[in-house]
Structure 1
Amino acid sequence: MSWQNPEKPVAIKPKLTNTLLWARWSLNLELYFSQSLSLSLYCDFAFCILLVASLKVLIDLLFFLRSELTSIFHSGGCFVNF
């Protein structure tokens, strides 16, 4: 193998080493939390995500209604024939 020198160890770049250490630390942290958290906490977390998503939809709906009502009133009114 002429392309590799056996006396000289191959060094990993420092940035790659930091990335690998961070990945190992985050994996250990995830494993710790997945073993220590109960199902109720996961359900609470899911409920919070659902609540935030519902509030976002409600806010978007209110802005849509506001723009629709503004355009109706600026156009001279809404006439509906029954």
Structure 2
Amino acid sequence: MRNGVTVAVKRMRDMNRVEFEEHIQMLGDLRHPNVLSPVGYHYRREEKLIVSEFMPRGSLLYVLHSDQRPDRVVLDWP
């Protein structure tokens, strides 16, 4: 961003406006330490984007299934 903050941007191409708005609302309502709230979004028919804080350790998929380092992050259900 122009202010120096690094963000992650997720593209959501295959959603209509109602689905996209419902998804944004659901993300905005979530309150959990392991789930990021969106900090912004952009909607146009051809381009739908969700902006969130950048997490430097990579994707959740990687953390859960691919990171085998001894000092890896371990997430628990609580």
Which structure carries more strand by proportion? 2
Return the TM-score normalized by structure 2: 0.25
Which structure carries more helix by proportion? 1
Q: Which structure's CA Rg is the greater one?
A: 1
Higher relative contact order, structure no. (Cα contacts within 8 Å, ≥ 6 residues apart): 2
